[in-house]
Amino acid sequence: SNIEMATKLLLTFAIYRLIVTVGLTVEPTELIRLGVDGQLSVDPSDREKASLDFGMMSRVEPLAVFHPASAEDISRLVKAAYGSARGFTVSARGHGHSINGQAQTNKGVVVEMSGSRGRRLGFGKPALPRVFEEEGYVDVWGGELWIDVLRSTLEHGLAPKSWTDYLYLSVGGTLSNAGISGQAFNHGPQISNVYQLDVVTGKGEALTCSEEQNSELFHAVLGGLGQFGIITRARIPLEPAPQRVRWIRALYSNFSVFTKDQEFLISLHGHPASQKFDYVEGFVIVDDGLINNWRSSFFSPRNPVKITSFNANGGVLYCLEVTKNYDESSANSIDQEIEALLEKLDFMPTSVFTTDLPYVDFLDRVHKNEVKLRSKGLWDVPHPWLNLFVPRSRIADFDKGVFKGILGNKTSGPILIYPMNKDKWDHRTSVVTPDEDVFYLVAFLRSALDTADETQTLEYLTHQNRQILRFCDDAGIRLKQYLPHHTTQEEWADHFGDKWAQFYHRKMEYDPRSILATGQRIFKPSF
């Protein structure tokens, strides 16, 4: 049609402009043959947006930004990058919620996966998301945000099982890492909850993969830090969506009692649903952090609790956080089920706080605080986060050295701590975890501020992160970074350990020119 002709002409023009203005080193004929339907933009505001991320610590502008209309578009773009004499890089950007520029690239094109323009699959396939009620799964676009996945499945009374604490993250972005929250002890991380993927490899091939089909690629991509392909579609298993959530917190002053209880609760994963919690997390309170905790305003204003009333000697406190899902029809038994579980725990008497809310409100809890922080200008600030997987056998040493040592009594943000069961993680995926049956996530979710208080500055917090890593290294605590950030291939090889040879081999197989996700700084492009 005329419209298609006009679009193609405009696109050709855009590509020429790109070549002229930014010197993208591709042969013009190759790009003209691209024939994509999406929009390739060299607009400064598009490029600036793609140069930013949540961390606000790394800033790299791409040569161009691509808004794909389909998976086919992405395949054509990557084919052009792979096949061209000089080459250019291609980085998928989910929602840009990385901390260290992982979705950025300076020698090529950022593909904006989120946003309405990317939801059509092409090849005459139906629009996504698409819920298959009988089969119990949903097909979603790789750039879809989890909040939108949830909204679409809830229309059918269904929901995914494994979550992240925050839902404004893309499916492709979390599946490239692991995707963890308090459900992981029971259901495994999000990468253990995927039936099938459509992936565009670094050669531009569009392949469907699963346990049965192209299984090497399937496992490579899960937790693969974007190194092997761009996820354009994911098939996610669903369960009947619970209606409500009972959300409980309880305090501990003794770390070993706290971890004993957390480990007990996650050991119940094989039990019937009525005999375990649905979510187990926890956090560390080294100052008046609860009151400033952006993750949730649980304790206030409905529960105006003074932490000092539990913390007379000013030591470190630990807060267990659990939930139980239920439906109005089972509301009668929920109290007894919770009571039976709480009876087995040793938290400080009178320190139990309970709230009750709709399932969606619980899952979307962090967003409320995002809105609040944004209104105070406290969201778009640097985030020197540090996420660690610590082996169970050394978590007490970590407590002594870090929570009760290095931190002093300042944190600049929440510190999460919760254990997970390794047997819920598939060892064939690319992600690496400590070599023990149980390991803890410890997450320092800090915000740096430009204030006179030196302990809140980016420099101070970054230095403290290094101190924590050095302490663990010196103490022989064999941890792994989650959402890892390393800058040399040697460090990456160390990070992957036993899995490095396989990771490297997979890279040579699926992205031999190292075009994809160069912002992770694992491989240098071969041009």
What positions carry a catalytic annotation? 97, 165, 281
By C-beta, is 389 or 403 nearer to ligand FAD?
389
Helix (H, G, I), strand (E, B) or coil at 296: coil
98 is a site residue for ligand FAD (CB under 6 A) = yes
3-state secondary structure of 228: coil
Give the interface size with ligand FAD as a residue count (CB under 6 A). Answer: 37
- When binding is defined by CB under 6 A, the residue of 92, 245, 395, 461 that contacts ligand FAD is 92
- Shortest approach of ligand FAD to residue 402 CB, angstroms? 20
CA atoms within 13 A on the CB side of 189: 26
Q: Write down the least CB distance from residue 349 to ligand FAD, Å.
A: 31
For residues 209-228, which are near ligand FAD according to CB under 6 A?
A: 225-226
**C-beta closer to ligand FAD: residue 113 or 438:** 113
Q: Which position among 31, 42, 78, 169 is part of the footprint of ligand FAD (CB under 6 A)?
A: 169
Q: Is 391 in the site for ligand FAD (CB under 6 A)?
A: no
**Does residue 520 touch ligand FAD according to CB under 6 A?**
yes
Shortest Å, Cβ 54 to ligand FAD? 4
Tell me if residue 356 falls in helix, strand or coil: strand
Q: Within 117-156, which residues bind ligand FAD (CB under 6 A)?
A: 142-143
User: Counting contacts by CB under 6 A, is residue 316 touching ligand FAD?
Assistant: no
Q: Out of 39, 84, 100, 174, name the contact with ligand FAD by CB under 6 A.
A: 174
Our CA angle for 467, 405, 99, nearest 5°, is: 40
By CB under 6 A, name the one of 179, 242, 401, 525 that touches ligand FAD. 179
Select the span of 175-183, 209-217, 313-321, 351-359 touching ligand FAD (CB under 6 A).
Answer: 175-183
Beta bridge partners of 250: 320, 352
Least gap, CB of 205 to ligand FAD (angstroms) = 14
Q: How many CB atoms lie within 10 A of CB 334?
A: 17
The binder of ligand FAD chosen from 51, 100, 162, 177 (CB under 6 A): 177
* DSSP tag of 403: I
User: Minimal distance in Å, beta carbon 105 to ligand FAD?
Assistant: 8
Q: Cite the DSSP H helix spans in 326-417.
A: 331-342, 359-363, 365-375, 395-398
DSSP state of 332: H
Residues 6+ apart with CB under 8 A from 116: none
Report the nearest approach of ligand FAD to the CB of residue 216 (Å): 16
**Region near ligand FAD per CB under 6 A, out of 10-18, 94-102, 262-270, 497-505:** 94-102
Q: Residue 231, interface with ligand FAD (CB under 6 A)?
A: yes
User: In the complex, what is the shortest distance from the CB of residue 171 to ligand FAD, in angstroms, rounded to a whole number?
Assistant: 7
- Indicate which single residue of 102, 433, 447, 457 sits in contact with ligand FAD (rule: CB under 6 A): 102
Instruction: Extract the runs of DSSP E, i.e. beta strands, from 392-500.
Output: 415-421, 438-444, 480-481
Binding segment (CB under 6 A) for ligand FAD, from list 22-30, 91-99, 207-215, 446-454: 91-99
> Would you give the DSSP letter of residue 514?
-
138 to each of 35, 210, 218, 427, how far by Cα in Å? 30, 15, 17, 25
Rule CB under 6 A: say whether 483 interacts with ligand FAD: yes
Residue 226, judged by CB atoms within 10 A of its CB (0-12, 13-18, 19+), counts as buried
Name the strand (E) or helix (H) holding 112. strand 108-112
CA dihedral 308, 311, 316, 317 (to 10 degrees): -90
What CA–CA distance (Å, rounded) separates 132 from 136?
Answer: 6
Residue 150 makes CB contacts below 8 A (sequence gap 6+) with 159, 160, 167, 360, 363, 364
Kindly state whether residue 68 participates in binding ligand FAD, applying the rule CB under 6 A.
no
Q: Which stretch binds ligand FAD (CB under 6 A): 126-134, 261-269, 321-329, 516-524?
A: 516-524
- Strand 244-252 to 386-391 pairing: unpaired
Work out the angle at residue 264's Cα, subtended by the Cα atoms of residues 263 and 269, and round it to the nearest 5 degrees: 95
390 contributes a contact to ligand FAD by CB under 6 A: no
Question: Taking CB under 6 A as the rule, does residue 178 contact ligand FAD?
Answer: yes
Candidate residues 38, 62, 68, 96; the one interacting with ligand FAD per rule CB under 6 A:
96
Q: What is the DSSP code (8-state) at residue 359?
A: H
d(CA 140, CA 346): 42
Per CB under 6 A, which region of 40-48, 89-97, 268-276, 401-409 contacts ligand FAD? 89-97
Stretch binding ligand FAD (CB under 6 A), from 168-176, 270-278, 327-335, 355-363: 168-176
Name the site residues for ligand FAD (rule: CB under 6 A). Answer: 53-54, 91-98, 102-103, 113, 142-143, 164-166, 169-170, 172-174, 176-181, 225-226, 230-231, 483, 517, 519-520
